[in-house]
Amino acid sequence: MVLFGETLKIQGVTFLLFSVLAIAAVGYLIGRITIKGVNLGTAGVFLAALLYGCLFYDELVAQLGLFVGNGLKIIETLGLILFVTSVGFIAGPKFFGNLKKNFKTYIVLGLIIIVSGAAVCAACVLIQQNFTDLSKGDLAAVMAGLLSGALTSTPAFSAAKAAAAAQGIDESLVAVGNGIAYIFGVIGVVLFVQLIPKFVKADMAAERAKIAGGDADTGEEPTEVKETKKLIEIDPFGIAAFALAAIVGVIVGSFKFGNFSLTITGGCLLAALVFGHFGKFGPVKVMPATQTLKVFREFGLMIFLIGSGIAGGAKFIELFEPVYFLYGAIMTLVPMVIGFFFAKYVLKMPLLNSLGSITGGMTSTPALGTLIQVSETEDVGSAYAATYPIALISVVLCAQFVIILFG
């Protein structure tokens, strides 16, 4: 990239970092655009990254060559670690008590969301078989990719690719489906968690009190460890404790059980929940400062969306087909709607518990970030964390079953 003739040149890795900063600035401006009280918030960064990927990905390749894919993956993964670990720490103090009280509810809701998404996927396979020249195996691979993209699930995407390869199917077709559905999979859930409270005319102060366990809404966040005895702090911001939890999480998430693993997301979430629950190990404080967690959470979400958005934008134009985009949108919308009504009328869950669980059931990191902003409480993270594990396992299995059953 050359600015002002030969005076200023931005090349190589510097160009990538310059692009990230530019996308962040433009994305937050887009996220501020509000129509009838609804905006994209931080997900505006995702939209800006998609547009950048569509328009300037070739320039990135020219500047970085083969490194561009790894560079974007590093950005995306770092963002995911920062965001998920922050959420785990914030949810930790209340998580296990909340889980003990609502364990069956969260499992049932997570299963309902994923199974309904898989059922929609199966129906789409049966319908599309009559209108395509693709073989059964190739169509199943595309549809499994759509399911993983609609539910924004990287583990499901990886599992579907492995299942396709095992069946002798071109695994790149899974990537086609994932790339087409991923965009609406992100933006659709972000808009859903904003629109539902408006549709039901929710009293957010009352809803915050319900998810906090009936306590008055004080606006305080119980993330700090309160001790009469002085604890040892490694550093004033808690960055060392944060890093330790993230390291443990990456290690835990890397263990494989057959084709399944918790992945970095699940590992970091679990480790941070444990660290946040105990708050200290012996005399050492392992709970970062609240402000540190807020900054890491927002910064992590931002760069995660940039990394995934640029890569998604590069593939979107190349792979886009209207009918597959429609199928992907349906696979995103139907599970959310079914999950919401099931939570409201069958499980009798309060609104914010329902929406937090839906973000977990949809394995949607960006939607959780939006819900925290909309609800103005960190407690929704506990509902996300409680539903996420069962959703993670279920969507990985369902993505593989689609290929095995229809391939």
SS3 327: helix
Q: What are the CA-CA distances from residue 51 to residues 31, 36, 166, 173, 310 (Å)?
A: 14, 24, 35, 23, 8
pLDDT averaged over the chain?
85
The pLDDT score that the predictor gives to residue 4 is 44
The pLDDT score that the predictor gives to residue 278 is 92
Q: What is the model's pTM?
A: 0.73
The pLDDT score that the predictor gives to residue 363 is 87
Six token digits for residue 365: 């990191």
pLDDT 10s digits, 276-328: 989 999 899 999 999 999 999 899 989 988 987 887 777 777 667 899 999 99
302 φ/ψ sector (left φ>0, alpha ψ -120 to 50, else beta) = alpha
Q: What angle do CA 73, 79, 85 make, to 5 degrees?
A: 130
Would the pLDDT of 220 be above 90? no
In the chain, what are the domains?
2-406 (1.20.1530)
Would the pLDDT of 215 be above 70? no
Six token digits for residue 296: 């890491």
pLDDT 10s digits, 333-358: 999 999 999 999 999 999 999 999 99
Six token digits for residue 272: 């941070």
DSSP annotation of 40 reads: -
Q: Among 73-87, 263-277, 310-324, which is the least confidently predicted range?
A: 310-324
Q: What are the CA-CA distances from residue 93 to residues 74, 119, 276, 318 (Å)?
A: 30, 36, 6, 46
